[in-house]
Amino acid sequence: MAPMREPIDFYFDFLSSYGYFASLRIEQLAARHGRAVRWHSMLLGVSVMKTMGLKPLLETPLKRDYVLRDTARYMRRHQLELRRKLTDPFMDPRAAARGFYWVQRQRPGQESHFARLAFDRYWREGRDLGAPAQVAALAPEIGLDPAAMLEGIEGEQARTDLRDAVTASLARGVFGSPFFFIDGEPFWGSDRLEQLDEWLGCGGW
Amino acid sequence: MAPMREPIDFYFDFLSSYGYFASLRIEQLAARHGRAVRWHSMLLGVSVMKTMGLKPLLETPLKRDYVLRDTARYMRRHQLELRRKLTDPFMDPRAAARGFYWVQRQRPGQESHFARLAFDRYWREGRDLGAPAQVAALAPEIGLDPAAMLEGIEGEQARTDLRDAVTASLARGVFGSPFFFIDGEPFWGSDRLEQLDEWLGCGGW
């Protein structure tokens, strides 16, 4: 029997378009190399804005124009169409992030399924997910009860779980979305998926 | 006869390790696609620090550790050994940048040759290039006179040329090093060389 290999850790913020793009490819990429993926919801507002002291990408002169163009190019290349525009106002991502950790406690292993649903709802369908009720409305699609999920998102446990997860991500050096670890090696950015692929294929260098 | 194709524009700062890495590969990559490369010396101190209001990478919490690790990984992958450490104090890159534009006026077309020499001296050999005399010492390697170059670097024309080049780069949206344009399409980062290659190969998307 082949030895078990460590899952790939995948960190993302629901309001990150690059995080969304990576979420669409990481499972397939990992599977090609016999790896599972461990999903982690994090908050750019804490890592980039509070800890690093930087502005959001779209509020940074010069980078704003580049990111808009780069994103459009990525979408053409991967044939993606999004109803949400990058320039639309951002949601508060905490409800979705708490929902993620609530699902992880209720149905361990199903949190990545929830994350894909939430990403899809927000970016592809362009619907709002800033309010707990909007997040809880996804519950039936993973066989859970919306009322229970709403209570969970607003409860102490989910808040604590998110806070602990964000603290742990910072302690590990995670700052962007997407961010990955393969056997302890960090990779930042959706433009590093090809490098991840190469790393997994040859065992690193 | 095949139609002439636009050169690739390559922007870099001499004190950027990622700019140095790109400088080692861009000519060969371009040549494979029948393209020339137009080199442009720019200043991160003006784009990133003044215009964007950001801190240097190595003074940004979390990003510092990532950049050090990412750079070491890149060097292993491409079998590069540098005498200069990223954590060594940075030089003032203006003397080298003015030298670049002085060479461009004296020997149009030779400025990329000068840039490769300067990059090599600074990063691979780990020698200082912050003082005009240190830059002028490279002159004989491109058949120019060190005394004339020293005078040129300290003269008004080179200052004006650098200032104009930096202004033009900002107007075009350049902020990082390396930064490229292919037929008007912008690409940022040494980790985008593979994407450049794909873009050139298929004509874009």
Which residues of chain A lie closer than 8 angstroms to B169, CB-CB? none
Report chain B's terminal Cα–Cα distance, integer Å: 25
Q: Which helix (H) or strand (E) covers residue A127, if one does?
A: none
Q: Which of B47, B54, B62 to mutate to test the interface with A (most CBs of A within 10 A)?
A: B62
Its ipTM equals 0.92
- State the nearest Cα–Cα gap between A47 and chain B, in angstroms: 9
Task: Give the SS3 label for residue B182.
Answer: strand
Asked if pLDDT for residue B2 goes beyond 60, the answer is no
R_g (Cα) of chain A, nearest Å = 17
> Can you say how many angstroms the Cα of residue B31 is from the centroid of all Cα atoms in its chain?
18
- State the nearest Cα–Cα gap between A201 and chain B, in angstroms: 14
pLDDT tens digits, B51-110: 999 988 899 999 999 999 999 999 999 999 999 999 999 999 999 999 999 999 999 999
> What is the predicted pLDDT for the residue at B37?
98
Give residue for tokens 């861009």.
B26
> What is the predicted pLDDT for the residue at B158?
98
Q: How many CB atoms lie within 10 A of CB A113?
A: 16
Which residues of chain A lie closer than 8 angstroms to B61, CB-CB? 51-53
Exposure string (b/e) for B74-89, b if CB count within 10 Å is 16 or more?
A: beeeeeeebebeeeee
pTM of the model: 0.94
Nearest residue on chain A to B72, alpha-carbon basis: A205
Asked if pLDDT for residue B173 goes beyond 90, the answer is yes
Asked if pLDDT for residue B1 goes beyond 60, the answer is no
Q: Which helix (H) or strand (E) covers residue A179, if one does?
A: strand A179-182
Which token pair is A150?
A: 């709403």
B191 to A192: CB separation less than 8 angstroms, yes or no:
yes
Q: How far apart are CA B167 and CA A39, in angstroms?
A: 43
Give residue for tokens 């400025």.
B111
B52 to A62: CB separation less than 8 angstroms, yes or no:
yes
Q: Which residues pair with B41 in a beta bridge?
A: B12
Exposure string (b/e) for B29-40, b if CB count within 10 Å is 16 or more?
A: bbeeeebebebb
Mean pLDDT for chain B overall: 96
Of B18, B113, B142, which Cα lies nearest the Cα of B71? B18
> What is the predicted pLDDT for the residue at B3?
57
Angle between helices B146-154 and B156-171 (to 10 degrees): 60
Intervals of chain A under pLDDT 50 = 1
Q: Which of A63, A192, A196 to mutate to test the interface with B (most CBs of B within 10 A)?
A: A63
pLDDT tens digits, A136-192: 999 999 999 999 999 999 999 999 999 999 999 999 999 999 999 999 999 999 999
Tell me the mean pLDDT in the region B189-201: 94
pLDDT band at B29 (very low <50, low <70, confident <90, very high): very high
Percentage helix, strand, coil for chain B under 3-state DSSP, each rounded to 5: 55, 10, 35
> What is the predicted pLDDT for the residue at A3?
57
Task: Give the SS3 label for residue B90.
Answer: coil
